[in-house]
């Protein structure tokens, strides 16, 4: 298992967190996604290291950006 924490900008509510969670959860190997809206922290646990560009694309597709 691998755990990585990212900072996502632009999230302001639970709906934002749900959108980011859904997008990242679709990536292969993702087990859990934990979002803290107040800080923008997104902690992802996966079966193997994730490609950073894939995470960035998933976040951007949800309408947000990686810091």
The pLDDT profile of the chain, 67 residues, written as one tens digit per residue, is 999 999 999 999 999 999 999 999 999 999 999 999 999 999 999 999 999 999 999 999 999 999 9
**DSSP string for residues in 8-38:** EES--SHHHHHHHHHHHHTSTTEEEEEEETT
Instruction: Give me the domain span that covers residue 13.
Output: 2-66
Note the pTM of the prediction, 2 decimals: 0.94
CATH of the domain at 45: 3.30.70.100
Task: Work out how many domains the chain is built from and give that number.
Answer: 1
Q: How many CA atoms lie within 13 A of 32 on its CB side?
A: 8
């Amino acid at each position: 298992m691998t755990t990585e924490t990212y900072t996502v900008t632009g999230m302001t509510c639970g709906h934002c967190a749900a959108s980011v969670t859904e997008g990242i959860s679709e990536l292969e190997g993702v087990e859990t996604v934990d979002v803290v809206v107040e800080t923008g922290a997104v902690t992802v646990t996966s079966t193997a290291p994730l490609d950073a560009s894939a995470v960035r694309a998933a976040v951007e597709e949800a309408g947000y950006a990686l810091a």
